[in-house]
């Protein structure tokens, strides 16, 4: 994938969670168009 976005959250107790979103070039995404 040409683009990758990481969302990182650290809670009060120090736990960390990461969500990765992969993007590919192509047709427009209706969700992102909103």
pLDDT tens per residue, the chain (34 residues)?
Answer: 899 999 999 999 999 999 999 988 888 889 988 8
Give me the residue label for tokens 């979103």. 21
pLDDT value, residue 16 = 99
Count structural domains, the chain: 1
pLDDT value, residue 29 = 84
Nearest to 29 by CA among 7, 11, 5: 5
What would you report as the CA-atom Rg of the chain, rounded to the nearest whole angstrom? 14
pLDDT value, residue 34 = 87
Give me the residue label for tokens 């992102």. 32
Q: Is 31 exposed, middle or buried (0-12, 13-18, 19+ CB in 10 A)?
A: exposed
pLDDT value, residue 8 = 99
Domain that residue 29 falls in: 3-33
């Amino acid at each position: 994938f040409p683009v990758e976005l990481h969302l990182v959250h650290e809670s009060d107790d120090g736990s960390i969670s990461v969500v990765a979103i992969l993007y590919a070039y192509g047709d427009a995404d209706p969700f992102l168009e909103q």
